[in-house]
Structures are given as C-alpha cells and as structure tokens.
Structure 1
Amino acid sequence: MDGSLEKATMRRVMWRLVPFICLLYFIAFIDRVNIGFAALTMNKDLGFSSAVFGFGAGVFFFGYFLFEVPSNMVLDKVGARLWIARVMITWGLISGAFAFVQGEYSFYILRFLLGAAEAGFFPGIILYLTYWFPTRYRAGVVSLFMAAAPISVVLGSPISSALLGMEGILGLHGWQWMFLIEAAPAVVLGVVVLFYMTDRPEKARWLTDDQRAWLVAEMNAEHARKQVVAKHGVLAGMTDIRVLALALVYFGTSAGLYTLGIWAPQIIKSFGLSTMAVGFLNGVPPTIAVVAMILWARHSDKTRERTWHVVIACLVAAAGLMLAGGASSTVAVIAALSLVNVGISAAKPPLWAMPTMFLSGSAAAVGIATINSIGNLGGFVGPWAIGWLKDQTGGFTAGLVFVAALLVLSAVVTLIVARAGRRSETADAVAH
C-alpha cells in the first residue's frame, strides 16, 4: 500500500510543480542571456567593444552575489510563493528597461540591478524542491528543472534572432524590441505564481488527505534523520568547508555555462553565418545536452553516486572548450560546443544533490545560496575573460582555454571534497 501511495503522491507532486518551475526558469534564463543575441547588433549601435560587452554581461553576477544569501533567507521565512513572485516581477521590469540603454554605464547599472533582482530565484527553487522531494528523487528532479536552461537556448535562439529583425519598427532597433517582448512573460508569470505555487506540503489542498499525510511524514522523517548528522545553523551553512569547496566547483561550471550563453552566438557567427542561421545552429548543442543531462542525473540517482558524475562531466566540458578554440569549420565548432553543453548541463544535477546530503534547515537555505552566489561569480569571470582576451588576441581561443582550465579545477576540487568526506565519515564511525 505504501509503495503505491508513494508513487501516486510523487507523480502528482511532479506534475503539479516541475513543469511550472521549469517554465519559470525557462523565462529567467532567456532574460539572463539574451544579451548574447542583442550583441549581434546592439554592440555596433552603441559602440561597445568586446571588453565592454564582456564586463557588462558579467557584472550581473556582482548583484547576484551580494543579494543571493539574504534573498534565500527571506524566502525560507516568508515562503516561496510571495518571494518568487517578487523576484520575477522585478527582474521582468528591469529586463525590459534594457531597451533604453544609452551607453556602457547604463548597461553596467542595469546588468547589476538585474542580478540583484534575480538573486534568490535559482537557489530558492533548489531549496523549494527539498521541501517536496525526498533525497532519492532529488538529482532527477533537479535535472528536469535545469533542463529549462538549455531548452531556453534551443527555443529562445531563433525567437531572439527573429525579434532582431524588427529593426526600425516604431523607430526602435530590433534588439530593443527583443528586450521588451522577452521581458513581458516574467512579469505575467510573477503574478501567476501568487495564485499557483504552494509553499509547503502541509498546505497542498491539491493532494488527497492520504497523499498529503504520507508526504508530510516522509519529509519530517528525512529532516529528523538529518538532524542527527547534518549541520542546520545559519553560520554552519556559510562556513562549512564543503560548502566553500562546492562553491569553487560551481564557479568553474558557471564560467562554462555563461561563456556559452553569452558568447556562443558570436563564436558561431565568426564563421560568416547570417543572424537567423546563428539562431538555429545555436540551438543544436543544448538540444543534445537536455537528453544527456536527464539520463546522467537518473544514472546518478540510481547508483547513489555523485562525485564521479560531476568530475567526468566537467572534464567533458573542458575538452569541448579546447576543441572549440581550435575549430576551423562550422561543423567542428557545433560539435565542440555540443560537448561543452553536455558536460556543463550533466555536471549540475549531481552537484546540487551534494550539499543537501550534509546540510538541513537554515543551513541548507544559506549553504545552497552561498554555493550559488560565490559559484556564479564564475559567470562574471568567464564572459569577461573571453571579451578581454579577444580584444588582446583577436580571437576566442585563449579565452576558451582559460575557461577549460577552470573546469579542470572544478573536477579536481570535487575529488578532494569527496575524499575529505570519506575521511570524516570514517573518523565519525571510529569515534562512535
């Protein structure tokens, strides 16, 4: 009876929550990286160099870094429904304001404000999933949620390319129309969140009484088990050495992710393709990545293994970046970028399953936000390094090699964290 109740409950929770939060992340990621397409015409219109654009693209993560932990702490207190709605409405309004950028300083300011507004969304959703899904389901669910990022590139690339074609309508540039139109769904969905999201299983009137009772008991039992071994104070979440190490791992994967999101259109266009062709080709690598990520995460859940699933994926992404740097044809660069997409996407679900193995309660809220805020600074370093090194060398190769080195470092640190964790478990066993 319990087995069938569990299946029915988790199926209903899955269908109620996951498609909706995937839609939210889909919109979030488009608004975060659509400047990569805007740059195809905006940079010339506004006179931006590669260095100026790379810095502006990356300064988003300074705002993100400063407000990430406070934002997740507020979400844990007031509930996901109110806070995610606030996040989406404010970031939608700011994203639309990019249509009125006049120069580099207004570009920098709006990118910083966009990061501040969106801070808390991603780690907030990761935390929210821990309220609803037992550990054994988590990597698989996170992979479905995170699939929205590559899917947003697949679908958003041709849409953004098409919107750039609205050049001159009502006296606006195509990139201005792109920002205005792609910002609107965030505001609309922010209002929908207020009526659709449910903060905790206890409040889920869309579950039957039996289903709700089973899920509440299951999550309470898991929380009680963690209380014995897991750290659960705010300070513990910020200072645990494993949190800081995982933040360094995430730094490399974020550098890779936003290198793709922000620079891939220009890397592909450097082979002499039209803007529309770039839009369609840019969607090929993430299409492959979606399938690979979901299969890799399911294998990680099935085997209960996280470390090597992160390490191998990071090394695959690093290899792809190296190959992209030396690519001499469109086919070669798309194949290389496919490897990068697969590696980056596949690394993240097992990586996000790791902190909740040793953190719970307030420590989980703060720890997840700390990993995301520090780690996402890689989203500044990667795009900025690509732009600066392109101005210095005239090509993308040096920057791609640099980001590849960061991913190799992520793989090494993951192994060190796993080894330290095994030593700690051995010491605890001996002590008891």
Structure 2
Amino acid sequence: MLLSAYLSKRFRASSGSKDEKNGFVSFIAKASTIGILLGVAVLIVALSVINGFEQQLVHRLLSVVPQVEYVAPNRAIDNWPEKVAKLTKQPGVTGAAPFISVNGMAQYKSELKAVEVRGVDPAFETEVSAVNQFTYGKLVSQISEDEIILGQQIVKQLGVEQGQLITLLIPQVNQAGAEILAPKRVTLTLVGVIEMGGPIDSSAAFIHLNKAQSVLGYEQRQVTGLRLAVNDVFQAHQIALRVGQTIDDYVYISSWFRTQGSLYQDIQMVRTIVYIVVFLIIAVASFNIVSSLVMEVREKQANIAILKTMGAKDSTILATFILQGLSQAFIGVVLGSFIGVMLALNISELFTLVSQLLGANPLEGVYFIEFLPSKLVWQDIVVTVIVTFILAVLATLYPAWQATRVDPAKVLGN
C-alpha cells in the first residue's frame, strides 16, 4: 500500500508537470475535482437551509398555530375547566386550553379586514402557544375583556395604532342555526400587535374568552373548542386521535397536519429532490475521474509495463490508480465541505445582505418566515462525504482494472 501511495503521488506530479505532452488529462482531473467540490458544497448548504426551514416550522410556526384541536360543530362544549384538566393528564399532552373561534371583520374608520377572532383565556393560552414571543405591546397572557391584539398586516391595512379603538363585526346566528342575523358590533382597544411573518399576521385577532362568550351568548363554562400542545409535534395526529376518545362531546378532531401539513410535505419533497439532483451532479463529476484515469492509464502504459517487469503485483497497480482517483475526490470533498460549512453558517446574513442590496425580499409575505434559516447537521456532512467517496471508488475501479491488464511484452516491444 505504501508503494501504491508513492506511485500514485509520482503519477499525479507528472500529470501536472509543464512538460506533459497532453495536458488534457490534467484538465479533466481538475474538472472532476471542481465538480465534486461544487456538488458537496451545494448539497451541504441546501440541506442546511432545508433543516433550517424544518426547525423554524417546529419552533416558530407550530409553537403558535394549534397542534391539536377539538372543535364542537353543533353545540358548545360544557364544563371546559374539568375537561382541560382531564386532557392535561393524558400521555403525550403538555398543555390544554379552551377557545372560542369565529370569523369576523375588523373595522377602523372606513377600512375593513377579514379576521379570525379567537377568544382565549390568558391563564391557559401560554400553556399551548408561544404567541407572546412574537407580540409587542401588551401580551396575549395579559389581555383584558375590552382589549384586542391583532396581526401586523391587519394593523397595517387598517392604518390603526396601539391605544386606538377598533370595531369588530361578529356574525350572529339564531339558536336554530337556520337564520343569519345582523352582525354584532363590538368596540375594543388595540393593545398589542403580533409580528411573526406569514399568514398569521394577516388573519389573527385575539380577544378575552369572557368577551367572546358574552358576544356570542355562551355561558361562562362553555367554549367552542379545546386546544392541546403535545410533546412530539410529529406524533400530533396519533395523539389527537387517542386523546380525543376521552372526550364525551361530539367534536371534530384536527391537527396541524391538516392545516400546515402541505408545508411540511413540501419541505420533505424538496429535501428528496436536492439529494437526487446534487448526487447526480457528484456522480457526473465522478465519471470525469473515469475519463481522466482511462487516459492516464493509456499514457502511462510504458511505466506500468516497466513496473510489472520489476515485479510489481496487479494489486499494487490496481491500488495505485484507485488512490490516484480518490486523491482527486478527496481534494474536492475537503474543500467542498469547508466551503459548504462556511456558507451554511453564514447563509442567513448573506441572504439579508443581498436582499438589502436588491431592495426586495423574495420570502416576504410568501412563507411563515421572512429570512433564510440554516441549521447545520453533522450527519448530513457525513452522509455526503461517504456517498461521494463511494461514487469515487466505483469510478476508479474500471480504469484501475484496465491498468492491471497491460501486457509488458506488447508495450515494451513497441
């Protein structure tokens, strides 16, 4: 093996010398190294961004939107305090809270905006939601009965400021549910603004649970739904079905997979596409190793023949050209990993800088975040390196085997 490494080093040095008649072999070898470098760097950066989006989905979006909900379609849920206490004790459940949800309109002067009004109990809402982390002004956990908290886009569209009065238009339905009455007007003071990014900013309106009950005619222990927070968001649907069996009321069971599942599936689909496309790029670069080694074997036939006449074994020749190809891959992998890690660690700042220079943010108003997240996972780097080396080894096998087939008598005789 030491002899093979020495010979590989000598062959590599001779291929890069200025006296080489055919510099095309050296060019192909360098092109394969650059191709592997770019492929590894792009894969590490792309996977880091995808991991960042998944992390933000879990710790940002899913910390605010309901992870599990039980919504009563026909009649209100009675005795919610006892049911919340019961749900909290279920395995996998970290918190439970009551709510009343209704669609309505927010009005300020002549401006109107459709909103999703959500009546919450401040004492319980923080057990199931991290909305306070994205709220400035008065927090949801501090809201009183005559106050309201709106999303930033709603505030911007209405042109209202904190401390000013706005009007909520709440639809009214008779007890039989067959006739829609004139909407009820409720005047509230804007005390807080939710600034999270994405669709929540353009739809969320939080009011006190007691206020929602009085407006809709519910009793103090009645709500339209119960919300859960779970210890594993990716098991939310299974937990929702299991825990839902403990509720006596007729409710619709919903989890974040129904409301946000398409976004999570898109992230996983992009991850798969990135793996396939970038590994194909690395595979193409690895096939350049085949081309360069085949040409080098032909160019070094005389050297190989002399080595065989001196007693070099086929295994030595085979190992020599395998190491020759792996050295090209090794340089590409090391440099590509370094560049990829550096870019992955600073991609958020680079994206912000480019957005400021261009004066536009392509993520603004499209996704639930307005910055480019990144999370570097060392397992992704290990998988990338291992797969790249496997492709490189496969690429070197045929040229190295061809080198062992050189007949010294024919080569030296010519």
TM-score interval, smaller chain: under 0.3
Task: Give the alignment's TM-score, normalised by structure 2.
Answer: 0.25
TM (norm. structure 1) is 0.24
Structure whose CA Rg is larger: 2
Q: Which has the higher strand share?
A: 2
